[in-house]
């Protein structure tokens, strides 16, 4: 049986899925047609229900929970892993002064409407409404070229922005942790609810095994990870993996589910996402 599988070319995803798609583990008769896309493109594909299995932002998941169920394996949650709001021209203090002006029109580059990063930005800075959607990897350059005033960065950019002379305004992951005490839920792996229950459970089991294999053989997928990490230095690549792949990637567990449930509750209370009727999990 062949299933379509979408995930990003970022090191955390390629690290997780290497053993699965290259048959380093027994895939129990399943094959996977892999599609690589940035997270917001994957979110959009999920909205159209194009893939059998896909990575997506938890923000986007709220809009497709009727179609997809969340797997316990493969998610990206953690502490100290949140998106950063950065700038070239502002500091935290000067930004507050600008926000106090009644008619400010600050332009913010965001990595996608349905990203969890944008959800957190809306909670922390509801007054920032002039948002421009961009591919996450283009936000730093847009700041440097003064096309935008503020940038919301995710993934490996949190390791590179300072080298380019950019300033951190706030770590939205830290903001979330202080508000809730929970790990920050960034992205998860969902599976189409129309697939047989046995297939859903098998895919979950295989992704868990793939993560466990990656932890046991961390250099096994180095060529595959490098091939998709573009010009990223190997040290940055492994910092990225260490930050986003952890025990929650093996199994959400009670704490991981609590973090996701808290995210959905807060978002629903603020009318940022629709009320979800379905059970989120497989």
Residues making up the binding site for substrate: 55-57, 116-117
Taking the CA atoms of 212, 34, 197 and 61 in sequence, report the sign of the dihedral they define. Answer: positive
Q: What is the spatial distance between Cα 184 and Cα 76, in angstroms, rounded to a whole number?
A: 9
Q: Could you tell me if residue 166 is left (phi over 0), alpha (psi between -120 and 50 degrees) or otherwise beta?
A: beta
**The Cα angle at residue 114 between residues 109 and 115, in degrees rounded to 5:** 65
Q: How far is it, in rounded angstroms, from Cα 226 to Cα 237?
A: 8
| Inter-residue contact 209 to 14 (CB < 8 Å) | no
Do the beta carbons of residue 188 and residue 55 sit within 8 Å? yes
The active-site residue, picked from 22, 104, 155, 217, is 155
Cα 244 from Cα 236, distance rounded (Å) = 12
Q: Do residues 251 and 244 make contact, with C-beta atoms less than 8 angstroms apart? A: no
d(CA 140, CA 10): 17
Which residues lie across from 68 on neighbouring strands? 192
CB-CB neighbours of 135 under 10 Å: 14
Q: Residues comprising the binding site?
A: 55-57, 116-117
CA gap 268, 25 in Å, rounded? 39
**Per-residue DSSP letter, 183:** P
Residue pair 29/60 in contact by the 8 Å Cβ criterion: no
155 included as an active-site residue: yes
Could you give the residue numbers annotated as active site? 155
């Amino acid at each position: 049986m062949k299933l379509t599988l979408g995930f990003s070319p970022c090191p955390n995803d390629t690290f997780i899925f290497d053993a699965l798609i290259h048959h380093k583990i027994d895939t129990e008769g399943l094959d996977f047609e892999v599609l690589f896309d940035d997270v917001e493109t994957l979110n959009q594909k999920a909205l159209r229900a194009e893939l059998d299995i896909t990575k997506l932002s938890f923000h986007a998941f709220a809009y497709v929970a009727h179609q997809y169920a969340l797997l316990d394996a493969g998610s990206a949650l953690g502490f100290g892993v949140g998106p950063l709001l950065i700038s070239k021209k502002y500091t935290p203090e000067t930004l507050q002064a600008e926000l106090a002006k009644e008619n400010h029109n600050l332009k913010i580059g965001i990595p996608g409407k349905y990203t969890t990063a944008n959800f957190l930005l809306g909670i922390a800075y509801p007054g920032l409404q002039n948002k421009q959607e961009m591919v996450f990897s283009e936000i730093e350059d847009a700041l440097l070229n003064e096309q935008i005033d503020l940038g919301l960065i995710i993934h490996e950019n949190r390791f590179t922005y300072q080298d380019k002379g950019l300033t951190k305004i706030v770590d939205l992951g830290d903001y979330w942790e202080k508000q809730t005490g929970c790990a920050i839920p960034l992205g998860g792996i969902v599976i189409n609810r129309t697939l047989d229950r046995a297939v859903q459970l098998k895919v979950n089991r295989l992704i868990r095994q793939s993560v466990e294999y990656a932890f046991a053989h961390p250099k096994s997928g180095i060529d595959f990870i490098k091939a998709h990490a573009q010009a990223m230095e190997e040290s940055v690549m492994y910092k990225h993996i260490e930050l986003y792949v952890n025990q929650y990637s093996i199994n959400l567990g009670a704490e991981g589910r609590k973090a996701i449930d808290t995210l959905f509750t807060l978002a629903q209370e603020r009318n940022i996402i629709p009320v979800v009727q379905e059970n989120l999990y497989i």
